[in-house]
Amino acid sequence: MGADEDVALEVAAKLTDESLPWVEKYRPKSMDQLVAHEEIISTINALISANKLPHLLFYGPPGTGKTSTILACAHQMYTKSYSSMVLELNASDDRGIDVVRERIKDFAGTKQMFSHLPKLIVLDEADAMTNPAQMALRRVMEKFTRNARFCLICNYGNKIIPALQSRCTRFRFAPLSAAQATSRTTEIAEAEGVEYTADGIEACVSLGHGDMRRCLNVLQSTAMSAARVDRASVYTCTGKPQPEDVERILKSLLADDFATAFARVKEICVQHGLALIDVVSDLHAYVLQLDCADKLMQMQAVVWLAEAEARLAAGTNEKVQLAAVVGAFHAFRTTLKAT
């Protein structure tokens, strides 16, 4: 019976593992699987081994490994007693003032008999906590420092009230570098037996913009929909403009007359299923790179693009906005020629 149960559990674990999205399936389980933020990890490791773990505040953009880092730390610290020593509260739980008063107090207030380690309370997405709850947390944190440590995680450090910030040691998680994201993405593509090319991985990484979660999601959705992960399939699958398309659009905007440029850009967008808003946000980088003697005009063009992007995000008519963008380039390029 016992053995049967074990087998059943194993099968269930395998099944759920297979159906998990790759971001979860390959969530780093130990500190050495994390590919970035070496200084933060070594600092925390040193604090753990000296048994001097302070309250922590992790902040930084999504997909940079904040949740993974603290969970890996916790697994390393508590090993088998993890479930009795760690309380994870996440944005999907209700974290109003009652939770702080009751659940956290209950958990932090009882001391673990056979452990010299403090308990750990992870408040993921702490910036979603109400202000009164954050206020209440101040006192709880101080009162139970003997028994428990807190780790607050959020995207914006300044959404945490100053009184809490000052009680924590702050760590900023920067976006992953292209090299770090590339190595992890390649590792996972290998593990999944995906057929890929180097420029396919490069495209996933470049669309991820330092967000590892996004890199992996792009990789997985492309692997599911195309036979091979290469540059073209990644851009087709995500519907993002390929650099060549943006270059063609830019060329037309800088050279053709109004009606031709308008028709040309529209044609390229329709052909490749591109959203004008993605094209506009990519054009922005190109405009900044143009060698233009009239810097003021160049900045004005950037402002025009930003305004068009904001209007598109608000859901305005694409045709009208496209005309505005073409018009903006007309005004901009006269000074380009003059210089």
Ligand X SMILES: Nc1ncnc2c1ncn2[C@@H]1O[C@H](COP(=O)(O)OP(=O)(O)O)[C@@H](O)[C@H]1O
Q: Which residues of this chain interact with ligand X, rule CB under 6 A?
A: 23-24, 26-28, 34-36, 62-68, 184, 212-213, 216
Q: Phi-psi bin for 180: left (phi > 0), alpha (psi -120 to 50), beta?
A: alpha
Nearer to ligand X (CB atom), residue 35 or residue 77:
35
Strands 169-172 and 119-123, by their bridges, are unpaired
25 DSSP β-pair partners: none
**Residues in region 34-73 near Mg ion by CB under 5 A:** 67
Query: Residue 246 binds which entry of Mg ion, ligand X, none, with Cβ cut-offs from 5 to 8 Å by kind?
Result: none
- C-alpha–C-alpha distance, residues 305 and 300, integer Å: 9
Q: Which tokens belong to 2?
A: 């016992």
Query: Residue 322 binds which entry of ligand X, Mg ion, none, with Cβ cut-offs from 5 to 8 Å by kind?
Result: none
Nearer to ligand X (CB atom), residue 65 or residue 200:
65
Q: Which tokens belong to 222?
A: 């492309």
Query: Residue 196 binds which entry of ligand X, Mg ion, none, with Cβ cut-offs from 5 to 8 Å by kind?
Result: none
Nearer to ligand X (CB atom), residue 68 or residue 233:
68
Provide the minimum distance between the beta carbon of 68 and Mg ion in the complex, in angstroms, as a whole number: 8
Looking at residue 55, what DSSP letter applies?
-
Query: Residue 212 binds which entry of ligand X, Mg ion, none, with Cβ cut-offs from 5 to 8 Å by kind?
Result: ligand X
- C-alpha–C-alpha distance, residues 45 and 31, integer Å: 9
Provide the minimum distance between the beta carbon of 296 and Mg ion in the complex, in angstroms, as a whole number: 42
The C-alpha angle 217, 175, 172, rounded to 5 degrees, equals 130
- Per the CB < 8 A criterion, the answer to whether 339 and 294 are in contact is yes
**Residues in region 128-147 near Mg ion by CB under 5 A:** none
Provide the minimum distance between the beta carbon of 176 and ligand X in the complex, in angstroms, as a whole number: 6
Looking at residue 173, what DSSP letter applies?
-
The C-alpha angle 40, 45, 50, rounded to 5 degrees, equals 130
122 DSSP β-pair partners: 88, 151
Query: Residue 201 binds which entry of ligand X, Mg ion, none, with Cβ cut-offs from 5 to 8 Å by kind?
Result: none
Nearer to Mg ion (CB atom), residue 34 or residue 234:
34
Whole-Å CA distances, 187 to 31, 60, 143, 180, 207: 16, 24, 44, 11, 18
Query: Residue 213 binds which entry of Mg ion, ligand X, none, with Cβ cut-offs from 5 to 8 Å by kind?
Result: ligand X
Kindly state the number of chain residues that form the binding site for Mg ion, as judged by CB under 5 A.
1
Looking at residue 228, what DSSP letter applies?
S
Nearer to ligand X (CB atom), residue 215 or residue 234:
215
Query: Residue 184 binds which entry of Mg ion, ligand X, none, with Cβ cut-offs from 5 to 8 Å by kind?
Result: ligand X
Of the candidates 291, 278, 288, 286, the residue with the CA atom closest to the CA atom of residue 322: 278
Nearer to ligand X (CB atom), residue 223 or residue 292:
223
Nearer to ligand X (CB atom), residue 122 or residue 325:
122
Provide the minimum distance between the beta carbon of 33 and ligand X in the complex, in angstroms, as a whole number: 6
Query: Residue 280 binds which entry of ligand X, Mg ion, none, with Cβ cut-offs from 5 to 8 Å by kind?
Result: none
Nearer to ligand X (CB atom), residue 145 or residue 221:
221
Provide the minimum distance between the beta carbon of 24 and ligand X in the complex, in angstroms, as a whole number: 6
Lookup result for tokens 């508590």: 78
Q: What are phi and psi of 229, to 5 degrees?
A: -90, 95
Q: Could you list the residues that contact Mg ion (CB under 5 A)?
A: 67
